[in-house]
A and B are shown apart, each in its own frame.
Chain A
Amino acid sequence: MNKAGTDIQFAICGSAGDGTIAAGDIMKRAAAAMGFHVIAFDVYPPEIRGFGKCISRIRVSSEQAYSLKEQTDVFVSLNDGHAIPHVGEVRDCGAVIYDDHLIAPVPEGGHISAHVRPAQIPYGLPIRQVSEQATNSARSRNIVVLGYVAGLLDMPPEPFHKVVNQKFATKPPAVAEANIKAFDAGFEVGRKVFRLDDVEVGSAPEADRGEAVMMTGNGAIARGFLEAGIQSYFGYPITPATSIMERLAVELPKAGGRFLQTEDEISAISATIGAGFAGSRAATATSGPGLALMTEMLGLGVMAEVPAVIVCSQRGGPSTGLPTKTEQSDLNLAVFGGSGDAPRIVIAPTNVEGCYRCAGMAFEIAEAFQVPVILLIDLYLSNRYETVFPSGRNVFAPKPRQAPERREGEEYKRFALTESHISPRALPGDPDMMYTATGLEHNELGKPGDVLHMKMNAKRHEKLKPATRYPGLTTCKRFGAEGKVDVGILGWGSTFGEILEAMFEAQEEGISCSAMKVVMLSPLPEEELRAFFDDCEVVLVPELNYQGQFANLVSGALGRPVVRLDRTCATPMAVADILAEVRRLASDVNEPAHAAAGGGA
């Protein structure tokens, strides 16, 4: 999407140990401090030690962007071996920045300059030398190039200085000083270089929404939980969910909450359900393999009507799969996993801001419907950075609880059949309402017995229906053209960013299209979905799994055909792939003869 004003993507590539990710981190925070929208995603090597490849990609824009761009505007190499395969992602007239004074000889074709296309603009500078002159060490090469980029693009140095000082605040002052020297040295060189290019950082938009905060999806979830007054957290480490746990390990005790690393995921969910039963706002976070272990206890939560919040950040599967790669293949598990008919609420935010808001509301929703709520995200969303504008006043704070009213002389009916299908819930400690919760089918008192199975099953399902209209939560939303369109793109989760970018481009090409994101996957907002299908000649569902799990879910629930775009490429979906499919479908709609040959429903 070509945006008015600034829209620049930086990439910095090096090996672990070059400070690649750290430099990227400073860049994104400085840009956010200037008031820009930022989306960033870092790629780490799978192995912990060694000199694997790291890339930090950062898109800085004055208008909200929805995904990274396919093409990078400014690319920096800190390690040519790693960077060479990525030079191709730089657009025509884009900048390729590298060290042109390497101290070791390189074999022919081993130097990055040999890989720069004629249309790209090479910027060689003696990165190492500048670093050594400024700080007596080659270790600030990453900061030198940052300064260089800032100078080249006329960005103000102050925000960078501020972020550097913050970043090294816990180190001796000399560290921050050296880094600022390195930055300034790079900045001076960059400022003097003639800019051939049309790349420009304009002024930032007016900050009308309060202060922007840089967060990852996982950080946003932890923040949402904390603002919602989370009281206990139980977890077992697993990529890509671990950083939620690590954040809460630090923050929860500060807030007077309780944090426990359990012996496995079964224990984590069991303790979450136990704490929920006792009235505590409790959560756990895991990935697909952990969620698979949790499903039996999830069923107990459904049966015993206990609120709990479970985050699942998906990665490639099945089994141990691709632990460091993104995928959207746990939808079936999240929506259906477990024995019996076990309806639960599944919420899948589509961006970092959504992670924050959904996490903030998850406890309230779990309590309102007395059911486990799954927040379904994926590695791409867990780890990518975006600027978020948290609400100034805390809208997620728990509201005071109302204990059920006890009628004199009547036994407390924990599972009373009511009009709303929701039964007032007593908590241990409430006088005269002692009951036993159970995973056995039960009567209104909670006593085992199968007579009411049909009614209780209906209760557990029907009570969730109003969740799709829960006030303050966007459970689905349509973007782009209104009314009848040729092509509708239906999406969920992190892929919706790429879908939106593709949709806007298609619109610019004159294609009649619109996109709808579905945030609540269970229960589905069926009415809104039906209206969308009614408006679209054809509906395309792009998602990152092989089976088309969301496509199956929607077309099964609505009985409508969809066109699938399933990819298991271990990366976010390419905007170009979605766009190509939209173009094909649009031309099919307009030239039906062509469709008979190619279109699949």
Chain B
Amino acid sequence: MNERVEPVYLEEKLEEIRADGHLRYRSRSLPTWCPGCGYFSMADGLTVALNRLGLDNKDVVVVSGIGCASRFPFFVNTYGFHTLHGRVLPVATGVKIGNDALTVIAVGGDGDAFAIGAGHIPHAARRNVDMTYLVFDNGIYGLTKGQTSPTSALGFRTSSTPYENGDMPLNPLLMLLSYEASWVGQAYAGRPHHLTDMITMAIEHKGFSFLRILSPCVTFDKTDNTYRNLGMKVRDIPEDHDPSDRLAAMALAMEEDHPALGLFYREDRDTLGEVMQDAARKAQAMNLAPKGL
């Protein structure tokens, strides 16, 4: 389980990092996250993934909502759009439709995704918009200083649930699997190398890829999703899991006590862009008259 077995020396590591080239995807702004926040892994993971895929900075757009997670675009040296709370997916859909040549990465927190923005997820998923949606799930509202979120556990005490949270948490993976997402995976901020691999795969997927990234909010959650608790709970996805088997993926998603890390489901089908190209072809062939005369 321990990803680092060899001792690491700072100078050597720095040299390696500089040589590897992924720093050109980091912006000059220093992340404003709290020291120790899980989100640093995501920033690193995405820049390494972009470097691996050899994508040109100018052809990537990172779109986000509002929240600590959504500060992400400022720390990446690509085009970015920091939008409104809950609206990352429709804006990202517009960006992709506006210019199909762009690689579009949508980013947001669990509140952004599953509370205020929940109504948009099924539609981006079922339309199979060719983009990657990274949800940083810390089970709490970080930016507004620690209220309960739709993925907070039962019994969780926060400033908005002083008498314990009584709302059943929802299951993001199960949601996305039933929303017809064509790529569903899970990663953990405490496993940065695996996280980077998953981000890379998610971007490579043609269609809508959804990656839930479990992440501790070290400032406002001292009891639930801590590195210690998450580290003990997570496990590798079983080796014999078949990612084309949606029912098996759903069964796996329901084992919430021990979140599995890896690819749950993948399917190859037409993207929204392809559907639109098809409409353009049919429009030429059919030459329909508009309603009326």
Contact = CB atoms under 8 A, between A and B. Distances in A.
A296 B74 contact: no
A432 B99 CA distance: 18
B78 interface: yes
A253 B80 contact: no
Interface in B257-293: 272, 276, 279-280, 282-284, 287-293
B90 to A, nearest CB: 3
Nearest to A219: B292
In the A-B complex, list the 8 residue pairs whose CB atoms are closest, starting with the nearest: A274-B94, A278-B98, A436-B80, A271-B94, A275-B98, A270-B90, A280-B98, A253-B283
A515 B289 CA distance: 40
Of the listed residues B90, B93, B292, B293, the one surrounded by the most CB atoms of chain A closer than 10 A to its CB is B90
Contact of A436 (B74, B93, B98, B123): B74
A251 B290 contact: yes
A277 B119 contact: no
Contact of A279 (B81, B99, B280, B282): B99
A434 B290 CA distance: 41
Given A253-B280, A274-B92, A439-B83, 11 more contacts: A250-B288, A250-B290, A254-B280, A266-B87, A271-B97, A273-B94, A277-B94, A297-B84, A433-B58, A436-B74, A439-B84
Given A304-B81, A428-B99, A434-B57, A258 B90 contact: no
Contacts of B33: none
Nearest to A248: B290
11 contacts: A243-B291, A262-B123, A266-B87, A271-B90, A274-B92, A274-B97, A275-B94, A278-B96, A296-B84, A427-B99, A436-B79
A29 B292 CA distance: 11
Of the listed residues B59, B282, B291, the one surrounded by the most CB atoms of chain A closer than 10 A to its CB is B291
Interface string A83-98: 0000000000000000
Nearest to A308: B94
B218 interface: no
B94 A272 contact: yes
A601 B282 CA distance: 60
Interface string B93-107: 111111101100000
A185 B27 CA distance: 79
A253 B273 CA distance: 12
Contacts of A273: 83, 91, 94
A250 to B, nearest CB: 5
A276 interface: yes
Interface string B110-144: 00000000011011000000000000000000000
A440 B83 CA distance: 9
Interface string A242-259: 010011001101101011
Contact of B95 (A264, A277, A435): A277
Contacts of B150: none
Contact of A274 (B66, B91, B272, B287): B91
Contacts of A267: 87, 90, 93, 120, 123
Interface of B: 29, 57-59, 61-63, 66, 73-74, 77-84, 87, 90-99, 101-102, 119-120, 122-123, 272, 276, 279-280, 282-284, 287-293
Bin the interface of chain A by size.
Answer: 35 or more
A157 interface: no
A275 B120 contact: no
A296 to B, nearest CB: 6
B291 A440 contact: no
Interface string A405-449: 000000000000000000000011111111111111000000110
B291 A428 contact: no
Nearest to B103: A428
Contacts of B81: 274, 277, 304, 436-438
A263 B94 contact: no
Of the listed residues B91, B95, B99, B122, the one surrounded by the most CB atoms of chain A closer than 10 A to its CB is B91
A280 B73 CA distance: 21
Interface of A: 25, 29, 163, 166-167, 170, 214, 219, 231-232, 234, 243, 246-247, 250-251, 253-254, 256, 258-260, 262-264, 266-268, 270-280, 282, 296-297, 300, 304, 427-440, 447-448
A447 B74 contact: yes
B224 to A, nearest CB: 29
Contacts of B66: 439
B287 to A, nearest CB: 7
A355 to B, nearest CB: 16
Nearest to A304: B81
Given A272-B94, A428-B58, A428-B59, A278 B290 contact: no
Of the listed residues A268, A270, A274, A438, the one surrounded by the most CB atoms of chain B closer than 10 A to its CB is A274
B29 A280 contact: no
A54 B273 CA distance: 42
B97 A280 contact: yes
Given A274-B92, A428-B102, A29 B82 contact: no
B291 A246 contact: yes
A515 B91 CA distance: 43
Contacts of A243: 291
Contacts of A304: 81
Contacts of A246: 290-291
A155 B264 CA distance: 73
A290 to B, nearest CB: 14
A435 B79 contact: yes
B59 A429 contact: yes
Nearest to A167: B293
Contact of B73 (A214, A268, A274, A436): A436
A243 B91 CA distance: 24
B98 A231 contact: yes
Contacts of B283: 250, 253-254
A262 to B, nearest CB: 7
A429 B101 contact: yes
A12 B93 CA distance: 46
Contact of A270 (B94, B122, B293): B94
Given A254-B284, A266-B90, A282 B98 contact: yes
Given A262-B123, A266-B87, A436 B82 contact: yes
B84 A232 contact: no
A234 B102 CA distance: 19
Of the listed residues A29, A428, A438, the one surrounded by the most CB atoms of chain B closer than 10 A to its CB is A428
A25 B293 contact: yes
Contacts of A438: 74, 81-82
A274 B119 contact: no
B69 to A, nearest CB: 15
Contacts of A25: 292-293
A310 to B, nearest CB: 13
A437 B97 CA distance: 18
A47 B97 CA distance: 36
B90 A262 contact: yes
Given A266-B90, A267-B120, A304-B81, A253 B279 contact: yes
A268 B83 CA distance: 14
Of the listed residues A163, A234, A270, A280, the one surrounded by the most CB atoms of chain B closer than 10 A to its CB is A270
Contacts of A266: 87, 90
Contacts of A279: 98-99
A276 B81 CA distance: 12
B97 A258 contact: yes
Contacts of A439: 66, 82-84
Nearest to B58: A431
A270 B91 CA distance: 5
B94 A234 contact: yes
Of the listed residues B81, B280, B289, the one surrounded by the most CB atoms of chain A closer than 10 A to its CB is B81
B123 A274 contact: no
Contacts of B102: 278, 428-429
Nearest to B73: A436
A96 to B, nearest CB: 29
B88 to A, nearest CB: 9
